[in-house]
């Protein structure tokens, strides 16, 4: 009796995953991306702007897009939030949070006294306002599409009077000297990045976050309160609430919200259903694993506080004449 040959495995697509990110090489986006082993092993595709990354992800030019969405000093990266809210249909798959150390870098031999112009992405320049005011009060700032692009331009110019703000990776890649280290105004500076792709919602992990956009009815007083009541009634914690203009006219705003939980959770699903029913204009941006390491502990603290409040209230109500027993 002869042995049967093992079944032929089904054909697989040998093409590596393509991940788009803001370039050129050496951006903080690339630095964050490289902390994720699966993304670091992918084929990395550089784009000139974050909006280009998101559009390429929507069209399938790349399998995954990776973009900055929020900084702890400067807040939301508006081009990312607005493109996600209004221009593309992709869903957040994960978030990555990294500490941000900003460095002032120039060509070899450049000193602080030489510098008259500083180039970087506006968010990075804003994160070093105090340093620039105290050390380079007369400096001219120039906007670049990314910190790495600024570093690349400084290297190409070869002018010691022009410096860039960026990370150590960019300084190393473009052969620049670090003139001043850690110039960010706040040492706890962090930036949050998200990976996106069309259609797919990651499975719940038990430690998740959901992002949505909710339209505001201009002709209904108290519309924001009505929206927030849907979360309060279900004890759903909001981790972010921001208003953004819809681009349709002055005074026309929508709300960008991050909330704890996954759309697979019954309470979250019920809340989204109520928002959709009562407010109509709701866009789902994704449910995905939360990067906040102490999120479970925060929820436990909130639950314990709620139980303590229930006990306190029960003690007061127990004193009402006629309600005892």
Residue pair 121/77 in contact (Cβ under 8 Å)? The answer is no
Residue pair 51/20 in contact (Cβ under 8 Å)? The answer is no
Q: What pLDDT sits at residue 123?
A: 87
Q: What pLDDT sits at residue 305?
A: 75
User: Cβ–Cβ contacts within 10 Å for residue 147, how many?
Assistant: 30
User: How many residues are recorded in the chain?
Assistant: 325
**CATH for 18-100+190-197, among 1.10.760.10, 3.40.190.10, 3.40.50.720, 3.90.1150.10?**
3.40.190.10
Sorted by where each begins, the domain ranges of the chain are: 18-100+190-197, 103-180, 208-289
Query: d(Cα 130, Cα 252) in Å, to the nearest integer?
Result: 34
Query: d(Cα 201, Cα 83) in Å, to the nearest integer?
Result: 19
Which backbone phi and psi does 229 adopt, to 5 degrees? -65, -30
Residue pair 105/178 in contact (Cβ under 8 Å)? The answer is yes
Dihedral angle computed from the Cα positions of residues 228, 229, 233 and 238, in that order, rounded to the nearest 10 degrees: 10
CA distances from 295 to 125, 174, 245, 283 (A): 31, 39, 30, 24
What stretches in the chain show pLDDT beneath 50?
Answer: 1-8, 10-11
Query: d(Cα 278, Cα 290) in Å, to the nearest integer?
Result: 28
Q: What pLDDT sits at residue 310?
A: 83
Cα torsion 230, 235, 236, 241: sign: positive
Residue pair 28/147 in contact (Cβ under 8 Å)? The answer is yes
Q: What pLDDT sits at residue 21?
A: 97
Q: What pLDDT sits at residue 248?
A: 78
Q: Is 316 helix (H, G, I), strand (E, B) or coil?
A: helix
pTM recorded for the entire structure? 0.80
Q: What pLDDT sits at residue 54?
A: 98
Query: d(Cα 222, Cα 172) in Å, to the nearest integer?
Result: 53
**CATH for 103-180, among 3.40.50.970, 3.40.50.300, 1.10.340.70, 3.40.190.10?**
3.40.190.10
Query: d(Cα 30, Cα 28) in Å, to the nearest integer?
Result: 5
Per CATH, 18-100+190-197 and 103-180 having the same topology is answered yes
Tokens, residue 90: 């992709």
For residue range 114-172, list pLDDT tens digits in order. 999 999 999 899 999 999 999 999 999 999 999 999 999 999 999 999 999 999 999 99
Q: What pLDDT sits at residue 302?
A: 60
* DSSP secondary structure, 123-187, as one string: HHHHTTHHHHHHH-TTPEEEE-SSHHHHHHHHHHH--TTEEEEE-HHHHHHTT-EEEES---S-T
| 208-289 under CATH 3.30.70.260, yes or no | yes
């Amino acid at each position: 009796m002869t042995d049967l040959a093992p079944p032929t495995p089904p054909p697989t697509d040998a093409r590596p995953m393509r991940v788009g990110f803001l370039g050129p090489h050496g951006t903080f986006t690339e630095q964050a991306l490289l902390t994720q082993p699966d993304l670091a092993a992918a084929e990395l595709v550089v784009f000139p702007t974050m909006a280009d990354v998101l559009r390429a992800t929507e069209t399938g030019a790349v399998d995954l897009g990776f973009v900055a969405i929020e900084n702890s000093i400067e807040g939301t990266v508006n081009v990312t939030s607005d493109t996600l809210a209004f221009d593309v249909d992709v869903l957040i798959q994960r978030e990555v949070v990294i500490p941000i150390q900003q460095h002032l870098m120039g060509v070899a031999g450049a000193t602080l006294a030489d510098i008259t112009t500083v180039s970087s992405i506006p968010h990075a320049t804003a994160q070093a306002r105090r340093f620039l005011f105290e050390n380079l009060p007369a400096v001219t700032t120039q906007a670049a599409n990314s910190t790495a692009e600024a570093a690349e331009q400084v290297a190409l110019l070869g002018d010691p009077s022009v410096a860039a703000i960026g990370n150590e990776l960019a300084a190393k890649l473009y052969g620049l000297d670090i003139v001043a280290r850690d110039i960010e105004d706040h040492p706890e500076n962090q930036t949050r990045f998200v990976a996106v792709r069309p259609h797919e919602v990651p499975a719940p992990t038990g430690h998740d976050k959901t992002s949505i956009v909710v339209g505001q009815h201009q002709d209904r007083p108290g519309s924001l309160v009505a929206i927030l009541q849907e979360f309060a009634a279900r004890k759903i914690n909001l981790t972010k609430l921001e208003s953004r203009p819809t681009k349709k006219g002055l005074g026309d705003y929508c709300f960008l919200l991050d909330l704890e939980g996954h759309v697979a959770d019954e309470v979250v699903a019920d809340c989204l259903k109520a928002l959709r029913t009562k407010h109509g204009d709701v866009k789902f941006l994704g449910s995905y694993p939360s990067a906040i390491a102490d999120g479970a502990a925060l929820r436990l603290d909130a639950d314990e506080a709620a139980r303590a409040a229930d006990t306190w209230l029960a003690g007061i109500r127990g004193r009402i004449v006629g309600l005892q027993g």
